[in-house]
Amino acid sequence: MALRLIRTDGDEILRKISKPVEVINNSIITLIDDMKETLKENNGVGLAAPQVGVLRRIIVVDIGEGPIEIINPEILNKEGTQIGVEGCLSIPEVYGEVKRPQKLKVKGLNGKGNEFEIEAEDLLAIVICHEVDHLNGVLFKDKAIKFIDVEGKKKR
């Protein structure tokens, strides 16, 4: 495993649409392992492949219950709404309130190529939506209702 460089706002790759993963090979498994390590090292809760310079539909999320990898995630259903404060490893020191679904159901593949579904709510739903947005070239700041000062960070 290796740490990957996190691309930051202004890098054109963050605005491109990621391509589906057609074959899960050693390269994809290495990417997922590297994403997990990079996420942990940077104290994040989610990371999408474009954030490390790879235009593939892969996300890794970890809200403190262990990492979840989702290849080719597809949101099947959304319920309710919630507004939460979001930040992003690709947009350091910027925070904003974003409206997201309260609950959702997602399907995708794990690293072994097995299809699965996951139901997420609250923080997990926010993180999954945030990361899926990255796969579509959308950043949280595009959806922010307002930008806020968090923990003494400067309002933008």
Residue spans of the domains in the chain: they are: 12-147
pLDDT (0 to 100) of residue 151: 64
Predicted confidence (pLDDT) per residue in 26-72, tens digit? 999 999 999 999 999 999 999 999 999 999 999 999 999 999 999 99
Fold classification of 12-147 is Peptide Deformylase (3.90.45)
Q: Where does the pLDDT of residue 156 fall: very low under 50, low under 70, confident under 90, or very high at 90 and above?
A: very low
Residue-by-residue DSSP string for 11-56? -GGGGSPPBPP----HHHHHHHHHHHHHHHHTT-SEEEGGGGT--B
- Of 12, 69, 117, 131, the active-site residue reads 131
How much is the CA Rg of the chain, to the nearest whole Å? 15
- Its pTM surpasses 0.85: yes
> DSSP assignment, residue 4?
-
Whether 86 sits among the annotated catalytic residues: the reply is: no
Per-residue pLDDT tens over the stretch 93-143: 999 999 999 999 999 999 999 999 999 999 999 999 999 999 999 999 999
